[in-house]
Structures are given as C-alpha cells and as structure tokens.
Amino acid sequence: MVETPGLKTMWRKLSHNEAAPGLVLMACAAIALLIANSPLQQAWHDLFHSSLAWTPVAKLDSAHLWINDGLMAVFFFVVGLEIKREVLAGELSDARRRRLPIIAALAGMAVPALVYLAFTRGDPALQSGWAIPSATDIAFAIGVLALAGKGLPPSLRLFLLTVAIVDDLGAVMVIAFFYTSGIKLAWLGASAAILGLLVLANRFGVRSIWPYVLGAIALWFTVLHSGVHATIAGVLAALTVPLALNRQHDSPLLRLEHALVSPNGFLIVPLFGLANAGVHLGLPDGGSLALPLGIGAGLVLGKQVGILGSILLAERFGIARRPEGASVRQLWGIALLCGIGFTMSLFIAGLAFPSDPLLVEEAKLGILGGSAVSAIAGLLLLQQRRSPAY
C-alpha cells in the first residue's frame, strides 16, 4: 500500500482548523444554490427526495429523510457532547463566565422571534415559524470569523462559540417542546427505558464507548417512531456519556467527541447543506414576501439588537462584563455573525411547515438572504481594525 504522508498531514491540519468546516459548508451551500437555479434542478431534487429502492427503516424512504432524521441525529449527538463538556468542565461551568453568554444567547433568540412575529402577524399560517430566525450556525459563523483575519481579541471567538452552544441548547429545547406532535406512548415508553439503561451504565462506571453507541442507535430508532423528533435522541444519548477523566486523562465523552467532530463537520453538515440549501432564487408561484422578510429581518435585525443590546445593558447595570479587549464595534460584528442561521434554521423550517413545501421554499429564501447579509456585514465590521474603547 502506498503511503501518502503529504495527504495525511494536509488532512490533519484541515481537521484541526476550526474554520474549515464552515468554509466547506459555504462551498456546499453555493453548489446547492447553483444547481437549484440550473437545468439540473429537477434531477437534483429527485436525487434527494425520490423513494429509495430499499431502506432498512420504513419511515426513512428517501435520501433527504435519511440525512435530516438520520445523519442529523449524529450532528445533535455531537452538539449534546459539546454542551455537556462545556457545562461540566468548560466555559459554562463557571457562573461568572457563563452569565453574559447565556444572557446574550437568550436575548438573541427572543428578539428575532419577536421581529419575525411582527412581520408575519397578519397570517396565522406563518406563526409556527417563529423559531426559524432564532438559531445560530456555529460552523458558518466561525468560518466567517476566520476570514476576518488576525488582530481580533481571542475573547471574541470564545464568546461567539459559547453563545452559539447556548443557542444550540435553546434550539434543541424548542424542537422538543414546540415541534413535537402525535406522541405514541408505547414507543415513548421504550425510549424512556433505553435512556434509563444508558443512565445506569453511566452510574455503574461503564467506560467502554460501545454500550453508549449501541444505546444511542436504539434510542434514536424508538424516538423516531414515538412522535418526538428523532434528533432529540442524539442530545439525550450524549448527555449520558461519562466525562470523568481516567488516569490517562481520557473519557468516553472525549473519545466520542474526538472521533465524531471531523465526520460531523466535513460530511454530515455539508451533506445537509447540499440536500437543503438548494432554493430557486425568486418567489415560488403563489408565494408571499411576508415569510422571507420576517426571517431575514429576524436574523439581521433581531440578532444584532438582541445580542449587542443585552451585552451593553448587562455591562451598564453591572450584571456582567464584556469580553476582554473587545470594542463595541467588534461586539456588533459578533452579534451580526450570530445572525447566520443556516443549518439549524433550515432544519427548524422543515419542522415548522412539514406539510407545506411552498412555505419551506419561502423560508429558505429568508434564511439564505438573512444569513448572507449578516455574514457580509459582520465581516466588514470585524475587518475594520479601529478598536479603541468603542
């Protein structure tokens, strides 16, 4: 077998570059957009949405469903691992350090939702989409932040990551409580039993990762049939994985996170982008501007007002201090980057309007437009190096 040390070195560097998954996701989104506005549009749609000749899970009979309800459960599993690590041993473990990111993330979810509802108040059919502009895409935002170049305080990147993690936790809770319907008690009971076994494995000190992996798969299968969205299984299973370090300073959680971060960033999320970001640039026949404008305004205006406003108010009233060395201009830029919804916003859009493809297409226009404006505006602000006290 021919050794390729150059390729291995390149992959090692790429997999350790936090900006790389965001850049790959941007490329996939661009490819999906180009194809969706080309003569290949129908063939591309059929590739993901046509019924499969065979599927091991009857409920997942298309590539699109396998990506959104299957692979995205792995994405949420990684999110759950990150949340647990941050809460128990990271930035969210210290009450003083987590105060500002939590305040900013909550305001950054609430204000965009209010802006959206203000734009769509005349149409009850659109009200279920209120959570779409509340999400932040970690990979995309970190990728754009990397494009801003060097010279920014390290505290800004850490603050953006922490806000996005809290935002992800909020999005998971929104999906669980607001986008769940048609509960099937037998399947839900089976899910509870499997989750209980995973908790017991943790309590009895099981250190092998395989019981948690197999348990997570079983939990996903039962949750998929329970009426609760299947991706919630990923987060719940992740929270049962032990974090406590052994003598080698290792743990099942750290091993799983290390093993899954690269496939998550370079395969699962880009595939999701390819399958979901393709939208025809123009209103569908019979479409309305209310939905895309509401989402776009929520991402662009709501995020920056909610996040920057909450930071300044928290500092003004002595509740928390801004990130060290950061100017108001830079914080404004970070608040704009939080308006890049993309992955989670696209995901919630599909849950908000499950039986209306027209509204999903309109929502995609708002998500892509709002995310693009937020990314460009945030990048322009952060590239300006004038950063005295303000």
Phi-psi map region of 388: left, alpha, beta (phi>0 left; psi -120 to 50 alpha): beta
pLDDT in tens, 260-315: 999 999 999 999 999 999 888 877 666 678 999 999 999 999 999 999 999 999 99
Q: Look at residue 6 in the predicted model and tell me its pLDDT.
A: 67
Q: Look at residue 279 in the predicted model and tell me its pLDDT.
A: 86
Let me know if 295 is exposed, middle or buried by CB neighbors in 10 A (0-12, 13-18, 19+). Answer: buried
pLDDT in tens, 145-197: 988 877 788 889 889 989 998 998 899 999 988 998 788 999 999 999 999 99
CB 49 within 8 Å of CB 62: yes
Beta-strand ranges (E) seen in the chain are: none
Count Cβ neighbours within 10 Å for each residue of 46-62 and write b for 16 or more, e otherwise: eebeeeeeeeeeeebeb
Greater confidence (10 vs 246) lies with: 246
Could you tell me the pLDDT band of residue 60, with boundaries at 50, 70 and 90? very high
Q: Look at residue 7 in the predicted model and tell me its pLDDT.
A: 62
pLDDT at 204 over 90: yes
Q: Which of 151, 109, 108 is nearest to 130 (CA)?
A: 109
pLDDT in tens, 87-141: 999 888 888 888 999 999 999 999 999 999 999 987 899 999 999 999 999 888 9
Q: Can you tell me whether residue 4 is helix, strand or coil?
A: coil
**Which token pair is 368?**
């892509």
Least confident among 80-89, 195-204, 257-266, 377-386? 377-386
Let me know if 19 is exposed, middle or buried by CB neighbors in 10 A (0-12, 13-18, 19+). Answer: middle
Task: Name the CA dihedral angle for 304, 307, 313, 315, rounded to a multiple of 10 degrees.
Answer: -120
Q: Look at residue 389 in the predicted model and tell me its pLDDT.
A: 46
Rounded CA-CA distance 328/337 in Å is: 14
Least confident among 18-32, 171-185, 210-224, 275-289? 275-289
Domains of the chain, start order: 59-276+288-383 (1.20.1530.10)
Q: Look at residue 143 in the predicted model and tell me its pLDDT.
A: 87
Rounded CA-CA distance 182/206 in Å is: 35
If you compute the radius of gyration of the chain from its CA atoms, what whole number of angstroms results?
21
Beta-strand ranges (E) seen in 201-264 are: none
pLDDT mean over 207-220: 97
CB 176 within 8 Å of CB 129: no
CA angle 176, 182, 183 (to 5 degrees): 65
Rounded CA-CA distance 384/387 in Å is: 8
Q: Look at residue 369 in the predicted model and tell me its pLDDT.
A: 95
Q: Look at residue 303 in the predicted model and tell me its pLDDT.
A: 97
Mean pLDDT of the chain: 90
Amino acid at 358: L
Greater confidence (10 vs 104) lies with: 104
What share of the chain in percent tops pLDDT 70?
93
Q: Look at residue 1 in the predicted model and tell me its pLDDT.
A: 45
